[in-house]
Amino acid sequence: MQSESMQLCIQTRNLNLWYGQFQALKDVNIDVRHGLITSLIGPSGCGKTTLLRCFNRINERFSYVRTKGEIKVLGKNIYDPDVSLIELRKSVGMVFQRPNPVPISVYENIVFGLRIHNRFGVFQKNQLDEIVEKSLIEVGLWKDLKDRLKVKATSLQLEQQQKLCIARLLPLKPEVILMDEPCSALDVEGTRAIEDLMYNLRGHYTIVIVTHNMAQARRTSDECIFMLLGEKIEHDRTENLFLNPRDPRTAEYIEGRYG
Amino acid sequence: MNKEVNTDIVRPKQIPRRAFAAIAGEKLIELIIRLSGVSAIIFVLAIFFFVFREALPIFFSDHFDLFKFLFNTQWYPTSAVNVRYGTFALTVGSISITFLAMLIAVPFGLGSAIYISEFCGPKQKESLKIIIELLAAIPSVVWGFIGLTVMSRMIISITGAPVGVNLLNGGIILALMSVPIIVSISEDALKAVPDSYREAALALGATRWQIVYRVLLPAAKNGLLAAVLLGVGRAVGETMAVLMATGHAVQIPHGLLDSVRTLTANIAAELGEASVGSDHYHVLFLTGVLLFLLTFAVNLTADFVIRGIRRK
């Protein structure tokens, strides 16, 4: 039992969330295992993005969001009063649906996290250079961008922008990377590149990915969670969920009867 | 499962032609819109033309010298023996008061725009915006009146200056007048920054203030610059308030507590007294041309600066 819970990276218990009067999550209990890729699937409006946005508490920037329940990230309830949002977001990185690099240079985008988390620290130029190089190599952008580090990040191709958005998380050494439909703005090649990248990052980080694309969930993830109307329906190893769904609603969804 | 669909029922119809009146009406509206678009150009050219036409005869006057007009500080347009038309002190007056006003208005304006767009709640936001619009609606003569009475007395009692209507007074009044423009334009510029940038920084663990200066300011710099330059335009062109609040003395100011006179205030105060067709009358119009060129130069540099930033 002890070793079982050690492997868990994110746990939610009776998680409820309301947007104003509308209840978007209903008593969600999930356990995300450490170091694996877990996908969240379900039809539009089922709460998968909402759930993902709970894990770094970025939902709370809107004042009409109310949350009840418990979320443990690495054993620590992130709704405890002594939790620092800044530290939480440092260890739980997020990649968004549309690539959203900040409109500054590629270089500055990558060291952005370091700069904001080390407000008064002085960085050595070569130290930063090294970090930038390492991060770009890790996401496979170094070859393309090593001569264009001063270029404005928003002028890159979408695929490169999305990789950059992943690369800028890495200097902060996050435990978890949350991905909210990271390929929906990309073409086939871009999607393939991001999926390869996810595969390479697998094991080093716990990755939770929301996707509309069932085939993508099947290709990329180790475990899969199916959600419907704000509830968790089924959580299993991906191949089990797709081959032997236990719940009839899951079966109908993956057969494409609705969604 | 394939059902036979009877396609005979759906017969292709001819698309009817539009009525002539509808087409003509459309064209008419298009013409009106085009005219109103072009009218701005016509008005600017016309204004420049008429002001310049009134100013032109001064170039043929014996008492006039263009170099002296621009760089001499002596402004004695009505002297019986030695008429001198030097506007340098007036130009310096206009520039210094604009500079001082911007020194005060830009930090306040940008600060309040940042507060309104990023920090305050929705209710407070609404009320603040209404109040700032109210500030913009105060007529300039009322501002001048405040400068002449309230501000002037305050400046005398605080600084001990002999006169309260001076550069400082006019600068503060002008700053107060430019702040609403700066606030509303820069607030628009900040609002136009895509929310995804804020979210990106927030998800990396940035604080609100870090989001402002690391993300929003770089992203909105064009709009913010435009806001500041509109404020400059407002300050350079303002007449009534500075006429009342600056003391109206023709001199190059050596300190904040010196009285100054601006190009605009000078025209407003003297044009009524100058007899039509006299040298004095013509030279005042030339001052108008100078003012026009000054604001034109400000706008043009602004344009170049913004374009330069954009190219990067």
pLDDT in tens, B268-283: 999 999 899 899 999 9
The answer to the question of residue A119 being in a domain is no
Rounded to an integer, what distance in angstroms lies between the CA atom of residue A156 and that of residue A148? 10
Of B99 and B298, more confident: B99
Rounded to an integer, what distance in angstroms lies between the CA atom of residue B131 and that of residue A53? 36
Rounded to an integer, what distance in angstroms lies between the CA atom of residue B158 and that of residue B180? 27
Interchain contact, A100 vs B194, CB within 8 Å: yes
Rounded to an integer, what distance in angstroms lies between the CA atom of residue A107 and that of residue A140? 15
What pLDDT is recorded for position B35? 94
Tell me whether residue B249 is exposed, middle or buried, using C-beta atoms within 10 angstroms of its C-beta: 0 to 12, 13 to 18, 19 or more. middle
**Phi-psi category of residue A27: left, alpha or beta, with phi > 0 → left and psi -120 to 50 → alpha:** left
ipTM exceeding 0.90, yes/no: no
Of B199, B202, B205, the CB nearest to A117: B205
What pLDDT is recorded for position B100? 95
Query: What residue numbers bound the domain in which B302 lies?
Result: 75-311
Tell me, what CATH number does A247's domain have? 3.40.50.300
What pLDDT is recorded for position A213? 87
The answer to the question of residue A115 being in a domain is no
The answer to the question of residue B280 being in a domain is yes
Tell how far CA B119 is from the center of its chain: 27
The answer to the question of residue A116 being in a domain is no
What pLDDT is recorded for position B2? 59
Interchain contact, B196 vs A100, CB within 8 Å: yes
H/E run at residue A89: helix A85-91
Domain total for chain A? 1
Interchain contact, A96 vs B196, CB within 8 Å: yes
- CA B220, B221, B225, B228 torsion: positive or negative? positive
Domain total for chain B? 1
The answer to the question of residue B166 being in a domain is yes
Residue B228's nearest CA partner among B51, B107, B124 is: B107
The answer to the question of residue B67 being in a domain is no
DSSP annotation of B16 reads P
Tell me, what CATH number does B142's domain have? 1.10.3720.10
Confidence check: pLDDT of A46 > 60: yes
pTM summary value: 0.83
CB B282, CB B54: distance < 8 Å: yes
- CA A142, A145, A148, A150 torsion: positive or negative? negative
The answer to the question of residue A129 being in a domain is no
The answer to the question of residue A139 being in a domain is no
What pLDDT is recorded for position A127? 84
The answer to the question of residue B106 being in a domain is yes
What pLDDT is recorded for position A1? 40
The pLDDT mean for chain A works out to: 87
B209 Cα to chain A: minimum distance (Å) = 10
Read off the pLDDT of residues A98-128 as tens digits, 9 standing for 90 and up.
999 998 889 889 989 888 887 666 777 888 8
Of A100, A103, A116, the CB nearest to B210: A116
**Phi-psi category of residue A30: left, alpha or beta, with phi > 0 → left and psi -120 to 50 → alpha:** beta
Rounded to an integer, what distance in angstroms lies between the CA atom of residue B312 and that of residue B295? 26
The answer to the question of residue B69 being in a domain is no
Query: What residue numbers bound the domain in which A232 lies?
Result: 2-101+158-255
The answer to the question of residue B192 being in a domain is yes
Average pLDDT over residues B207-211: 90
Read off the pLDDT of residues A181-214 as tens digits, 9 standing for 90 and up.
988 888 888 888 889 888 888 888 999 999 988 8
Confidence check: pLDDT of A139 > 90: no
Query: Which residues of chain A are at the B interface, by a Cβ-Cβ cutoff of 8 Å?
Result: 56, 58, 61, 63, 85-90, 93-94, 96, 98, 100-104, 112-113, 115-117, 152, 165, 168-169, 172
Confidence check: pLDDT of B33 > 90: yes
The answer to the question of residue B288 being in a domain is yes
The pLDDT mean for chain B works out to: 89
Query: Which residues of chain B are at the A interface, by a Cβ-Cβ cutoff of 8 Å?
Result: 121, 194, 196-197, 199-207, 210, 214-215, 218-219, 312
Pairing of strands A76-77, A92-95: unpaired
Read off the pLDDT of residues A59-86 as tens digits, 9 standing for 90 and up.
888 888 899 999 988 888 888 888 888 8
